[in-house]
């Protein structure tokens, strides 16, 4: 069992996975944000790698990616960020949320190896179909990394196949479309989750649109984990100027921790 699955199972029905964009609003700030998210109760950290054509990302995360590009973030620099986050004292598993092209440019074998050496625990590649993931999966296995799968409420056959192949945790997309804060979820969500749960051997976590404590409690109450991305990234964006400055950063981090606390308080 890989470290991602171990953490997901240990969290039981309180699994909380925050997403942050690496390098947003700066390299040094990202190190402290990661530590703050761990201190706020995160069980696993999703660390985004900026990309020029992020098909699954809504406007909030796209803007975060642009801020990261302004800091000259790359996949290689993300590996350095992972090392710095580990040096800061973050011990929870780190899953890299990365589109396939940056990894292809870096090289699949060398990229997966570098992630493992830096201290990452897994990859989540949203635009890599499960039918085409064998090379990445095999290299991940050689490095004891999880290749986390995304599954959406589409056809029953596809849900079954992806769920049966899932590693670490199964990222269940709450709504079709891009990431972002939502007040409602896809009406097929319950049936979809039961189908995925039936065939998955790893814990399920729900993402895309989870944005408030009421939603978090409802999802945890059904025995599923939660992934919160856009809501946290928006909060980081609110404090971007303060986060960039060492003297004002602690107060901004305190506000982020307080915000995350309002999301995940039982």
Please say if 113 is a catalytic residue.
no
- The 3-class SS string of the chain reads CCHHHHHHHHHHHHCEEEEEECCCCCHHHHHHHHHHHHHCCCCCEEEECCCCCCCCCCHHHHHHHHHHHHCCCCHHHHHHHHHHHHHHCCCCCEEEECCHHHHHHHCHHHHHHHHHHHCCCEEECCCCCHHHCHHHHHHHHHCCCEEEEEECCCCHHHHHHHHHHCCCCEEEECCCCCCCCCCCCCCCHHHHHHHHHHHCCCCEEEECCCCCHHHHHHHHHCCCEEEECHHHHHHHHHCHHHHHCCCCHHHHHHHHHHHHHHHHCC
Selecting among 24, 32, 57, 121, the annotated active-site residue is 57
Selecting among 5, 24, 32, 46, the annotated active-site residue is 46
Please say if 46 is a catalytic residue.
yes
Active site residues: 46, 57
């Amino acid at each position: 069992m890989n470290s991602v699955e171990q953490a997901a199972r240990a969290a039981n029905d309180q699994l909380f996975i925050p997403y942050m964009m690496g390098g947003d609003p700066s390299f040094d700030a990202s190190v402290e944000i990661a530590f703050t998210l761990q201190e706020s109760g995160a069980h696993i950290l999703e660390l985004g790698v900026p990309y020029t054509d992020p098909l699954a990302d809504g406007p909030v995360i796209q803007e975060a990616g642009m801020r990261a590009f302004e800091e000259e973030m790359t996949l290689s620099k993300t590996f350095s960020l992972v090392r710095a986050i580990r040096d800061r004292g973050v011990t929870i598993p780190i899953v890299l949320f990365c589109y396939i092209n940056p990894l292809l440019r870096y090289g699949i074998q060398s990229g997966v190896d570098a992630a493992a050496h830096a201290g990452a625990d897994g990859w989540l590649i949203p635009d890599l179909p499960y039918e085409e993931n064998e090379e990445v999966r095999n290299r991940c296995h050689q490095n004891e990394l999880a290749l986390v799968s995304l599954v959406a409420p589409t056809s029953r056959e596809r849900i079954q196949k992806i769920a049966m192949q899932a590693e670490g945790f199964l990222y269940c997309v709450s709504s079709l479309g891009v990431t972002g804060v939502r007040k409602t979820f896809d009406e097929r969500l319950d049936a979809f989750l039961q189908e995925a749960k039936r065939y998955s051997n790893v814990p399920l976590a729900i993402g895309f649109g989870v944005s408030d404590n009421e939603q978090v409690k409802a999802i945890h109450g059904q025995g599923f984990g939660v992934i919160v991305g856009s809501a946290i990234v928006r909060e980081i964006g609110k404090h971007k100027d303060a986060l960039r400055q060492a003297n004002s950063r602690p107060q901004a981090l305190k506000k982020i921790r307080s915000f995350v606390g309002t999301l995940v308080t039982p």
